[in-house]
Structure 1
Amino acid sequence: MPASTIADIRTITCSPGRNFVTLKIVCEDGTYGVGDATLNGRELAVASYLADHVAPCLIGRDAHRIEDIWQYLYRGAYWRRGPVTMSAIAAVDMALWDIKAKRAGMPLYQLLGGAAREGCMVYGHANGETIDDTIEAARDYAAQGYRAIRLQAGVPGLAKTYGVSSDRYFYEPADADLPSEAAWATHKYLPSVAPLFAAARDALGWDVHLLHDVHHRLTPIEAARLGKDLEPFRPFWIEDPVPAENQQGFRLIRQHTTTPIAVGEVFNSIWDAKQLIEEQLIDYIRATVVHAGGITHLRRIAALADLYRIRTGCHGATDLSPVSMAAALHFGLSIPNFGVQEYMRHTEATDAVFPHAYRFADGMMHPGDAPGLGVDIDEALAETHPYRRAYLPVNRLEDGSMHDW
């Protein structure tokens, strides 16, 4: 058999502080690649999809045929798209690109056309129970060289607020064996955001980009109101202002505010983003390499967005492993319409399981110049961190009815 023939495929599930699913594809000559298959709160569904349905179909295939394998897994499944299927395809795609770049003896971004910039600007998460707490955290990020900072603060009158954690740097919302419940009140939230941005501009000036995540919680007209409230402070974006199932809602937001809009971390395919991009209803597309079908498919989404002057802003929370972070950086470094990359630090335990070459300096990250993705998995160490069931929270309004988390 040719040296590039796929000889073995392993699915590795571990929890070094949170759950990750990693795919390892090994060729006949021992060359291997890794891919991230993590779907927060539904990890075992993807692990089973890979082990029981995908792996048997790939043994004996040529690992170099990345596009053909992508089409085989997507078109051949009949039941297309969805987070489980697309996360599984993404893991295969990442691993195959890792193998191809290792065989070429170069970092992946070189195979994708080479570097289009010196590094990828990233944003950090400044959060706190109060505005003063958040501003203190934001000052810390600015001192570290961050050029873009996301601001999240507690909402007066609510016991718990999305994005506010007990640790300044590490935030993992999937925190319970069964879903925890939080309360939400839009009328308490909306008046709290503009004062946060006003305080941040006073403290940080105008040379730092400021971002905010709404997390799909508003109606279109409420999101429009928030956008207008924030216009004097020139936010880099407001993220996920409304649920994206009804994409016409973004048209209403556009009619009322010039605040830039970012959306797409829960998108699975180009079809989820097509209308938003073609009608120029968003400014940043946040689809991820792991949930949107891998590097192969994310490049298609970015190419479509580039036609409409829309830039990328890929999701990069800690529910994506260092494998995804590496892939996102190779992708972002190589495309013409990169905007910004979310960067949440992983714990020391996670970094030990996934040794990597990417690095941070002066507000930007670079994937490094190791062949392939430049990230690996220590399987022996991963075995010491067994899977632990963990769910994302759910949200209820103050009257007890369900709301978007």
Structure 2
Amino acid sequence: MKITNARLIVCSPGRNFVTIKIETDEGIYGLGDATLNGREGAVASYLQDHLIPCLIGRNPFDIEDIWQYFYKGAYWRRGPVTMSAIGAIDMALWDIKGKALQTPVYNLLGGKSRQRMLCYTHANGRTLDDTLEKVAEKMEMGFEAIRVQSGVPGLEKIYGVAEKGKAYEPAIRDGLPYEETWDTAKYLRFVPKLLEKVRDTFGEDLHLLHDSHHRLTPVEAARLGKELEAYDLFWLEDTIAAELQQGFRLIRQHTTTPLAVGEVFNTIFDCQQLITEQLIDYIRMTVSHGGGITPMQKIASLAELYQVKTGCHGASDMSPICLAACLHLNLSINNFGIQEYMGYPDLTEEVFPHGYYFERGFLYLTDQPGLGVDIDEDLAAKHPYQQAYLPVNRLTDGTLYNW
């Protein structure tokens, strides 16, 4: 079998997605998700101008060699654009291999380690009471694990909170990036009250998660983690910007609240110290931005040695192709922890028909060969790409800060 063609499908059925379709001389094709929220065009250009020409004529079964070719073969390594492009190709090659062998990808990764996968969703409200209503709605849908975010009194607009009556979507399609305002002191005073109220209202059995979105210092994160211990969080996510991995040492010294990080990581080197020093409990790297299924298997294996579990990023800014790839990985590894799942609008579901499904708090995979996801190219073509930006963040005095 040889790769004869590879092409990109860039569309916007509700939001922007970049899909690679790799075709072979035996009529089998594979799909990969190359979406990088707010930088889709950069990934598409890297694929089209640099990687796709090097794919033609190769054997799609040589997944490891092709991955190494695009990673080690390029002098300029790593980074979200490069790794998202490589990740899309890797996904598509696993999809081809599964289809050619008439088996789901998880069987190629070692088979099932479980029958279903616990997932969490988001409950976002503008006020505390609004957030409580959203939690109740998600519990009614069957979710057993919920990430809780709320507006903070005194701050007009912050991460995770949508306009009233709308689903949360940070990417702005009209004009330049939206600027939000942040005050750490207000946030630190409010969040313990929020999670105390949620726990008192909904009881002990609900798995509670919360995301600080890289906005704290290690000392601030340690303080917050300690204050939240009474509310038994499943995890506290992205407390600090983790380029400085050893920053988590200070947090770890002061709190037993489980820590999760990694959705913006690209390679194993971004989390090596965090894992080997047991500074985190969950690694949140995802298949697309982490370079594909091939490297994610290795990261999961390293994490397993140090009792760190996976919690793959699964926001709706990645397509159902990426979510399916995460699920095949999750199903096959022993140290799976939880999968983020926000769901998709009906239009996105129509463009990307898939075999996985949600039922009462868990995600399930069918036995469809490959990844079990397809794309309706005709429908996708009716919804062209629209440039979008993620917001930026400033402190109340105007200083640019972490978004």
Residue aligned with 1:137, SS: helix
Q: Does 1:41 align with 2:7?
A: no
How many residue pairs match? The answer is 402
Q: Does 1:395 align with 2:393?
A: yes
- CA displacement at 1:191 relative to structure 2: 1.0
- CA displacement at 1:167 relative to structure 2: 6.5
Residue aligned with 1:282, SS: coil
- Within 2, Cα distance between the matches of 1:178 and 1:349? 26
Q: Does 1:218 align with 2:228?
A: no
- Within 2, Cα distance between the matches of 1:277 and 1:366? 28
- CA displacement at 1:220 relative to structure 2: 0.5
- Within 2, Cα distance between the matches of 1:208 and 1:330? 26
Q: Does 1:293 align with 2:291?
A: yes
- Within 1, Cα distance between the matches of 2:165 and 2:354? 23
Partner of 2:172: 175
Contact kept in structure 1, 2:123 and 2:134, CA below 8 Å: yes
What amino acid is aligned across from residue 350 of structure 1 in structure 2? T
Q: Does 1:162 align with 2:154?
A: no
Partner of 1:78: 75
- Within 2, Cα distance between the matches of 1:310 and 1:271? 16
Partner of 1:13: 10
**Which of 196, 199, 209 does residue 198 from structure 1 map onto?**
196
- Within 2, Cα distance between the matches of 1:286 and 1:163? 17
Partner of 1:120: 117
Aligned in 2, Cα 1:38/1:107: closer, same or farther, shift over 3 Å? same
Deviations 1:201-220 (A, max 9, x none): 11211111100000000000
Residue aligned with 2:124, SS: strand
- Within 1, Cα distance between the matches of 2:303 and 2:327? 18
Residue aligned with 2:334, SS: coil
Contact kept in structure 2, 1:198 and 1:233, CA below 8 Å: yes
Which sections of structure 1, spanning at least 5 residues, go unmatched? Answer: none
Residue aligned with 1:135, SS: helix
Residue aligned with 2:228, SS: helix
- CA displacement at 1:99 relative to structure 2: 0.4
Which sections of structure 2, spanning at least 5 residues, go unmatched? Answer: none
Residue aligned with 2:271, SS: helix
- CA displacement at 1:141 relative to structure 2: 1.2
Identity %: 62
**Which of 281, 284, 287 does residue 283 from structure 1 map onto?**
281
Partner of 1:267: 265
Q: Does 1:51 align with 2:20?
A: no
Partner of 1:348: 346
- TM-score normalised by L of structure 2: 0.98
- Within 2, Cα distance between the matches of 1:119 and 1:165? 30
What amino acid is aligned across from residue 317 of structure 1 in structure 2? A
Contact kept in structure 2, 1:170 and 1:345, CA below 8 Å: no
- CA displacement at 1:170 relative to structure 2: 3.3
Residue aligned with 1:55, SS: helix
Deviations 1:161-194 (A, max 9, x none): 2111136783210123310000000011011111
**Which of 21, 25, 29 does residue 28 from structure 1 map onto?**
25
Q: Does 1:69 align with 2:66?
A: yes
Contact kept in structure 1, 2:245 and 2:271, CA below 8 Å: no
- CA displacement at 1:196 relative to structure 2: 1.1
